[in-house]
Amino acid sequence: ALPPAPAASAPISLSARKVYEQARSQLLQIRTVLKGRASQTSVGSGFLVSREGHIVTNFHVVADAALKPERHDLVYVTADGREAPLQILQLDVLHDLALLKAADTAQPAGDFEALGFRPVAQPLAQGERIYSLGNPLDVGFAVTEGTYNGLVKRNFYPQIFFGGALSGGMSGGPALDEQGRVVGINVARRVDGEQVSFLVPAGFAAALLARGREATPITAPAHGIVTDQLVQHQTALVERFIAQGWKPLTHPRYQVPVPSDQFMRCWGSSEPSRTGGLDLERSDCVMDTRIFVGDYTTGAISVRHESYDGTKLGTMRFAARYSASFRNEGFTRLRSEHQTKPQCREDYVDREGLPLRAVVCLRAYKKLPGLYDLVVLVATLDQKQVGVQGRFDAQGLSFANAQKLAKFYLEAYAWSR
């Protein structure tokens, strides 16, 4: 669920009140409860999208029930306090969506009120008002008013930049236009800023409803479904990442791999005065998009390099610091309940006369068969007082694509020309 956000200071508008009153009967709180007990383990929001009782929410709202159905049940609660069980029909892990259906014997099928989707032929305009609804922090149903600010830059999958506040518990709730039509689904917010929130475009939810309307309920753990979708994701990710190539980096001695900023964000830093005589320049490039899988994320790439200048230290002290930095790299991203121990191979590589020390490590996912996390470490070895070290991380890869990315990364190191 989303972390808490401060409440908007502006009073609610008449339009927001109207939208809320019109949509109130279609709003739901989605609760994950321990099987056979009344205690809830998590809460989110959802909304009705068909008269037959189909409901859309986020995958991360129902992940515990989808992956551990032997421990958890799902129920919904209406704005009037009526509670009934839920079934999972379809999952879209890549866009963080789930399609549910009410299993309510007290409410006849075909008798539900539903929200409609805004037509694709009517795209949102920059600055258009949006109204996000949900049950923040389990205190009651509410509406948050904000603006449409286009799609988020550098996201691997489209997300709407919503200029409004979302709070924990609103995940999976609808974002509506002034006519009460669904334009997005609440999914996340930035914790380092205010009024910076994100919505899944409504088109993905409409497509999920079309695919899953007649689906058989999912009753077994959904790891196989999740794995299949992650395989699709990593195939597309690797193809796009390799196709974009590397950006040129100005370095006096080496060509160092720095990724394009199409779907990654890069930050640089320089620390000439805080490293005890060792001048250090660093670049970190990370994806904003990560795929939520239960209590961890996967499906992302990150690239880092560090340029060391130890001419003030001398050869012996530089060698000790340079080697220690290489040894300090860690691999414990996930607990052992999710992954095997890393299997690593270290070797010395000659890149057209440039000597490199390279370590390649893989960790397998225990419940996502055929998927691995990859780590590649590199250090140049041609100089006694200067050098470059790099690290490449990619999560949720097939073995073949892990090999392909490791080769692609290592071959990017060369002499400057």
Domain boundaries, the chain: 14-220, 227-415
Q: Which H or E run includes 129?
A: strand 129-134
pLDDT digits 0-9 by tens, 140-155:
899 999 999 999 999 9
pLDDT of 251 above 60: yes
Predicted confidence at residue 18, as pLDDT, reads: 94
Residue closest to 128 by CA, chosen among 166, 167, 164? 164
Provide CB contacts within 8 A for 18, sequence distance 6+.
Answer: none
Residue 69's CB is within 10 A of a number of other CB atoms, namely 17
334 pLDDT band, cuts 50/70/90, is low
Percent of the chain with pLDDT over 90: 77
pLDDT at position 3: 46
- Say which amino acid occupies 35: K
3-state SS assignment for residue 380: strand
Q: In angstroms, rounded to a whole number, what is the distance separating the alpha carbons of residues 179 and 192?
A: 32
Question: Read out DSSP for 285-335?
Answer: EE-S--EEETTEEE--EEEEEEEEE-TTT-HHHHHHHHHHHHHT-----S-
> In the predicted model, is pLDDT for residue 11 greater than 70?
no
CB 323: neighbour CB atoms within 10 A? 12
Cβ-based neighbours of 324, under 8 Å, separated by 6 or more: none
Which tokens is 242 given? 């390799």
Q: How far are the Cα atoms of 35, 98, 301, 346, 349 from residue 411, in angstroms, in the given order?
A: 52, 41, 17, 16, 10
Q: 58 or 263, which is more confident?
A: 58
Question: What secondary structure letter does DSSP report for 357?
Answer: E
Nearest to 354 by CA among 280, 268, 417: 417
| pLDDT value of residue 335 | 65
Q: Are 74 and 88 in contact (CB under 8 A)?
A: yes
Evaluate the CA torsion angle 405, 407, 413, 417 in order and state its sign. negative
Whether the CB-CB separation of 94 and 291 falls below 8 Å is answered with yes
User: What's the pLDDT at 195?
Assistant: 83
103-157 tens-digit pLDDT: 876 676 667 899 999 999 999 999 999 999 999 988 889 999 999 999 999 999 9
> What are the DSSP calls for 172-198, one per residue?
T-EEE-TTS-EEEEEEEE-TTSSS-EE
Q: Phi/psi of residue 94, each to 5°?
A: -65, -30
Element (H, E) at 23: helix 14-23
Could you write out the DSSP letters of every residue in 209-244?
HHHHTTPPPB-S-THHHHHHHHHHHHHHHHHHHHHH
Question: 195-211: per-residue pLDDT in tens?
Answer: 899 999 999 999 999 99
Portion of the chain with pLDDT greater than 70, in percent:
93
- The H-or-E segment that residue 351 falls in is strand 343-351
Across all residues in the chain, what is the average pLDDT? 91
Q: Which fold has domain 227-415?
A: Protein Transport Mog1p; Chain A (3.40.1000)
Question: Distance between CA atoms of 178 and 45, rounded to whole angstroms?
Answer: 20
Determine if the pTM surpasses 0.85.
yes
Q: How confident is the model at residue 340 (pLDDT cuts 50, 70, 90)?
A: very high
- 278 falls in which pLDDT band (50, 70, 90)? confident
In sequence order, what are the residues at sequence separation of 6 or more whose Cβ sits closer than 8 angstroms to the Cβ of residue 40? 31, 32, 33, 34
Cα(397)–Cα(359) distance, rounded to whole angstroms? 18
Q: Which of 83, 58, 85, 53 is nearest to 72 (CA)?
A: 85
pLDDT band of residue 12 (cuts 50, 70, 90) is low
| The two structure tokens encoding residue 81 | 């306090």
Highest mean pLDDT among 76-85, 186-195, 278-287, 393-402: 393-402
What CATH number does the domain located at 14-220 have?
A: 2.40.10.120
